[in-house]
């Protein structure tokens, strides 16, 4: 099992670390455009192997995609954050160019690869990969919902005063502050609906705190988070690599599911060795359907800025 991670920044390196510690991959390749950066991160991580008890081989390369050849799974974290004075169109244009180049190079050396897209705006970048490649749709997956759901469960456990292992909940929709649709009505504490424990106002606060989860961390840290995003990516990689048939909300190309077509947006899927094994239908009430449609409108608006 060979996994490539493009982008050796905080999220990419964190993802590599979690994959190695879980010890299910034989090889992880970190690739970055900054000279020596991926090599240094890989060496640092390999020096933890005897301490953390893993045998996964981690190596780094500066832009040499031949080193990624025959990867089973590849993660794309490449891209730039929005800078002061930069328009949304400029950001999308730059990141789209990066993602196009990365996807083409990965597929050139690993035609059977499964791609996991993390680059932002994630739903739009996932849609772009569908448009510019010939990969079957089950092998292109956007990572957003797994992270958003982890943040939702954190906030639920906090409100309940319960261990997170007791809590289950899911976030669907777009991976943005306004696009997320936390399914509070379906959230449970050990199979009992959380509405039995929390007032409507408190549950509403949990939902709002979840939606600004990323922005809250950026304000505190001065940069984007990396531990939870890296862990979320590693969970998807493991589910695929180990054919776990686990359910995660992921951004996938829809063709009529949830009354949506020609769009990548977060919905629950079963992940296994083929990538997306099945899109799972969840019964939504009218309010949830309306929020999902609003979320899709926002994603489509961002998609319209792509030059495909």
Q: Which residues are annotated as a binding site for NAD(+)?
A: 7-12, 32, 95, 118-120
Q: Is 175 a catalytic residue?
A: yes
Distant-in-sequence contacts of 299-302, Cβ < 8 A, 24+ apart: 299/123, 299/124, 299/127, 299/174, 299/179, 299/263, 299/264, 299/265, 300/263, 302/88, 302/92, 302/121, 302/123, 302/124
Whether 280 and 269 have beta carbons less than 8 Å apart is answered as yes
Neighbours of 61 (CB within 10 A): 18
Please state the residue numbers annotated as binding site.
7-12, 32, 82, 88, 95, 118-120, 151
Annotation: binding site for substrate: 82, 88, 120, 151
For the chain, state the CA radius of gyration: 19
Taking the CA atoms of residue 286, residue 287, residue 292 and residue 294 in that order, the dihedral angle to the nearest 10 degrees is 120
Verify cis geometry, omega within 30 degrees of 0, for the bond prior to 121: yes
Q: Using alpha carbons only, what angle is made at residue 253 by residues 100 and 12, rounded to the nearest 5 degrees?
A: 50
In the chain, where does DSSP find H-type helix?
Answer: 10-22, 37-46, 49-52, 88-109, 122-132, 145-160, 200-211, 213-221, 227-241, 286-303
Q: Which two tokens stand for residue 165?
A: 């292992």
The Cα–Cα gap between 74 and 107 comes to 9
Catalytic residue, from 109, 130, 175, 186: name it: 175
For residue 230, give the nearest of 146, 165, 155 by alpha carbon: 146
3-state SS class at 77: coil
User: Which strand ranges, in their side-by-side order, compose the sheet holding 167-168?
Assistant: 167-168, 188-189, 192-193
Contact assessment for residue 270 and residue 239, using Cβ atoms and an 8 Å cutoff = no
Q: Give the residue numbers annotated as catalytic, written as ranges.
A: 175
């Amino acid at each position: 099992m060979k996994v490539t991670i493009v982008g050796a920044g905080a999220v990419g390196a964190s993802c590599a670390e979690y994959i190695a510690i879980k010890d299910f991959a034989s090889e992880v390749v970190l690739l970055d455009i900054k000279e020596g950066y991926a090599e240094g991160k890989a060496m640092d991580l390999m020096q933890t192997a005897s301490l953390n008890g893993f045998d996964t081989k981690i190596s780094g390369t500066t832009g040499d995609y031949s080193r990624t050849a025959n990867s089973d799974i590849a993660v794309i974290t490449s891209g730039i954050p929005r800078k002061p004075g930069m328009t949304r169109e400029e950001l999308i244009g730059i990141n789209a160019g990066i993602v196009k180049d990365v996807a083409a190079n990965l597929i050139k050396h690993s035609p059977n690869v499964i791609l996991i897209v993390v680059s932002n705006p994630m739903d739009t970048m996932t849609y772009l990969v569908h448009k510019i490649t010939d990969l079957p749709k089950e092998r292109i997956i956007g990572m957003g919902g797994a992270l958003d759901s982890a943040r939702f469960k954190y906030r639920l456990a906090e409100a309940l005063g319960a261990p997170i292992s007791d809590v289950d909940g899911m976030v669907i929709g777009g991976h943005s502050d306004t696009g997320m649709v936390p399914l509070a009505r379906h959230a449970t504490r050990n199979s009992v609906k959380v509405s039995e424990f929390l007032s409507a106002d408190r549950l509403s606060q949990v939902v709002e705190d979840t939606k600004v989860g990323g922005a809250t961390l950026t304000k505190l840290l001065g940069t984007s988070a990396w531990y939870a995003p890296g862990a979320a990516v590693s969970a998807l990689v493991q589910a695929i690599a180990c054919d776990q048939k686990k359910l995660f909300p992921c951004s996938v190309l829809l063709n009529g599911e949830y009354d949506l077509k020609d769009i990548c947006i977060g919905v629950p899927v079963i992940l296994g060795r083929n990538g997306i094994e099945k899109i799972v239908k969840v019964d939504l009430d009218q309010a949830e359907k309306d929020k999902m449609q609003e979320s899709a409108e926002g994603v489509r608006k961002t998609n319209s800025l792509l030059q495909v």
